[in-house]
Amino acid sequence: MSPTKSSWRQNLRHWWQDMKWPVLIALAIFSLVLGYVGFARYAAARGESPTFLDLLYQTLQLISMNSGSVPGPINWQLQVARFLIPALTVYTALSALALIFSKQMQVIKLWRIKDHVIICGLGRKGALLVEQFRAMDMDVVVLEQDEGNDWLEISRELGAVVLIGEASDPDSLRQARVDRAKYLIAVMGDDGANAEVAVHAEELVQGRTTGVLTCLIHIVDPQLYDLLREKELGDQNQSGYRLELFNIYVRGARLILQSVGDRGGQVTPSHILVIGMGKLGESVVLHAIKQWRENNLSKNDRLQITVIDRDAQLKAESLCVRFPQLEQVCNVVPLQMEVNSPDYLRAEFLRSPSEHNDVERVYVCLDDDSLGLHAGLSLLQQMKTHKVPVVIRMVEDTGLATLLGDGDTSQGKFKELHAFGLLDQTCTADLLLGGTHEVLARELHSVYLSEQTLDNGIAEQSEALVPWEQLPERLKESNRVQAANIGKTLAETGCSIAQMRDWEAGELDFSPQEVEVMSSKEHERWCRQRKQAGWIYGPERDADKKINPDLVEWDELPEDEKEKNRRFVRGLPRSLARAGFQIERY
């Protein structure tokens, strides 16, 4: 469906929701007046003189279709009324029945629903997710407090169960059957409300014995996001609940840096320009630095980032305070100017004084689509010979973004102009479900694969010696559980997980004693998990009968199996660093 047609239908639906009852009442009054006038004229034509009450009674009988059948000739007023009044009656009755039965059907569906997705908040982000999860044939329950929300009817048409209520209210979450859900996604406009949903959900699933509720909450505020991320992999209280955080600006930064293909074999450009130092612009700067550190082994090479913002100096200084190591890796050049100023339009900042380090990528991260497009086009005029990709952040891949699509703008002088639809790129089911635990679980599996060979594989392990995408779901979940318990493992030696501030944290080394303590605790956790899943000890491994010879105490475990646990522990600093975390000692 085209955006224009979809918007027209939404506007019409919204108008009808607002005006339905006034229109019906007006039609009812109009039709009753027509009926009264029609009966009066009909009686006069036949030489009769009925009273006012007689005419009113005959008119009201049209509602039950008891008085409309009269011998002709019939005047037009009565003709219209005897059809319009019953039609309005039938429509109103059917609307009432539809409302009653739709609520009953929702109750029935909620009674049997299981492993479903609950989406709290039906803004544009929530609507995109409803569409995608329904396309994956997953049951979806929507919690939205605004009965006039434009997306409610569309969600119902897609097959979602829609509940009107406050998502942060425990009763609403109970009604949505959070105790049986697989995913709970909070994308309301208020960070506090999203966080409150997560707190209540954790309380409501206490004692859950089957499956895990993964609670994904959107947090925009950077400080709150950093604070909650430490809880994300910390000592979570129960096995039936898993907290995941996401931020469209953090995710968008990773994706926007990948949106333009590498050129000349260069992994990361050495000089980038970021226009707009809002939430997305700041994330782009930080991820560009992280990417530069990972891909450039020589510590003498420094990334250059030019930032343009009305408060560029202040924001650049703030970054350096929060990330003290930034200046060791990167040279941030703040330019304080407006994108409509003469200095910006002259674009002298595109050329470096060294003549060997001109800007190689431009990322326009302004919050206004029109202003962003203007800023990008202005730079394009200054780069007729010096071809540099210009990526412009847009809200969605529609509207102004269509001007930068695959049409005529992809050729000629607009070839280097690229649109990045922030919501469409970041609010996808696949990205959302690939949260921190998923990233770590994949990393743990990757480490496992690197340490194994098919030659020494055994029956139970052979099905695990495959890429993540081919891994059975129960083994994927085993890796997720292992990732979720990393905080408990580290706590055994007085360590905790924190948001990464030290970019060298991935190189942390544990002492031999720390490795031994955490390795034994990890083995104990693995044994408990296996026993809960029905595995038992046996001298010969048999995956079909759930028999494993490693279900023994740490002291009885063979040395080669102990070493696998030790390698897992030694690799934790690097694995966590790749997910944006670091290990801290108390």
b/e 421-452 (16+ beta carbons within 10 angstroms → b): bbbbbbbebeebbbbbbbebbbbbbebbeeeb
Q: Are residues 92 and 127 in the same domain?
A: no
User: Looking at the structure, do residues 313 and 334 belong to the same domain, yes or no?
Assistant: yes
Last residue of a domain, one of 429, 455, 487: 429
Does 138 share its domain with 79?
no
What Cα–Cα distance (Å) separates residue 440 from each residue in 434, 436, 580?
10, 6, 10
Single-letter code of the amino acid located at 324: P
Tokens 């009264």 belong to residue: 36
Q: Is residue 140 part of a domain?
A: yes
Give the span between the Cα atoms of 436 and 190, in whole angstroms.
22
Other C-beta atoms closer than 10 Å to the C-beta of 358 total 16
| CA separation for the pair 17, 12 (Å, rounded) | 9
Output phi, psi for 129, to 5 deg.
-70, -40
Of residues 393, 142, 187, 207, the one with CA closest to residue 282: 393
Q: 382, 400, 429 — which closes off a domain?
A: 429
Asked whether residue 325 falls in the same domain as residue 384, the answer is yes
Clarify whether residues 375 and 264 are in a common domain: yes
| Domain assignment present for 6 | no
Residue 334 and residue 390 in one domain: yes
Looking at the structure, tell me whether residues 423 and 564 fall in a common domain.
Answer: no
Is residue 434 a contact partner of residue 245, using CB atoms and an 8 Å limit? no
- Strand partners of residue 183: 117, 214
Taking CA atoms, 411 is separated from 75, 89, 407, 415, 423, in Å, by 68, 60, 8, 5, 26
Q: Which domain holds residue 200?
A: 114-246
- pLDDT tens figures, 215-255: 999 988 877 787 777 677 665 555 688 888 888 898 889 88
Cα-flanking dihedrals φ and ψ of residue 508, to 5°?
-60, 140
Q: Is residue 288 part of a domain?
A: yes
* 373 Ramachandran zone, left/alpha/beta (phi>0; psi -120 to 50): alpha
Listed residues 47, 69, 100: the one ending a domain: 100
Per-residue pLDDT of the chain (586 residues; tens, 9 = 90+): 444 445 566 667 667 767 888 888 899 899 999 989 989 998 888 888 889 888 888 888 888 887 778 887 888 888 898 888 888 888 888 877 776 666 666 777 788 888 999 999 998 889 999 999 998 889 999 999 998 888 888 888 888 999 999 999 999 999 999 999 999 999 998 998 998 999 999 999 987 877 889 899 998 887 778 777 767 766 555 568 888 888 889 888 988 988 875 544 445 688 999 999 999 999 999 889 888 887 765 667 788 999 999 999 999 999 888 888 888 888 999 999 999 999 998 888 887 665 557 888 999 999 998 899 999 988 888 776 677 889 999 987 665 555 555 444 445 567 788 889 888 888 888 777 777 777 788 878 887 777 665 445 444 455 778 888 788 888 888 888 888 888 888 888 888 888 777 777 778 899 999 999 999 999 998 998 889 888 999 988 888 888 999 999 999 999 988 988 898 899 888 888 877 788 888 7
Q: Which residues pair with 537 in a beta bridge?
A: 548
Integer Rg of the chain from CA:
32
Say if CB 390 and CB 380 are below 8 A apart. Answer: yes
Q: Are residues 78 and 195 in the same domain?
A: no
d(CA 351, CA 28): 73
Kind of pairing between the strands at 303-309 and 271-275: parallel
Same domain, 225 and 316: no
What pLDDT score does 7 carry?
57
Give the integer Cα–Cα distance in Å for 184 and 213: 7
Residue 267 and residue 358 share a domain: yes
Asked if residue 461 is part of any domain, the answer here is: no
CATH number at residue 153: 3.40.50.720
Residue 449 lies in a domain: no
Classify residue 580 as exposed, middle or buried by CB count within 10 Å of its CB (0-12, 13-18, 19+). Answer: middle
Domain contains 399: yes
- CA–CA separation, 259 and 503 (whole Å): 25
Give me the pLDDT at residue 362, please.
92
- Contact 370/340 with Cβ under 8 angstroms? no
CA-to-CA distance for 371 and 364, rounded, in angstroms?
A: 10
Give the number of other Cβ atoms within 10 Å of residue 124's Cβ: 15
* Same domain for 306 and 169: no
Report yes or no on 445 lying in a domain: no
What are the CB-based long-range contacts (under 8 Å, 24+) for 516-521? 516/566, 517/492, 517/493, 518/489, 518/490, 518/492, 518/493, 518/569, 519/554, 519/562, 519/565, 519/566, 519/568, 519/569, 520/554, 520/565, 521/488, 521/489, 521/492
Q: What gap in Å lies between CA 571 and CA 171, rounded to an integer?
A: 43
Tell me if 438 is assigned to some domain. Answer: no
- Residue 287 and residue 375 in one domain: yes
- Total structural domains within the chain: 4
Omega within 30 of 0 (cis) for the link into 73: yes
- Distance, CA of 120 to CA of 187 (rounded, Å): 6
Q: What is the pLDDT of residue 10?
A: 61
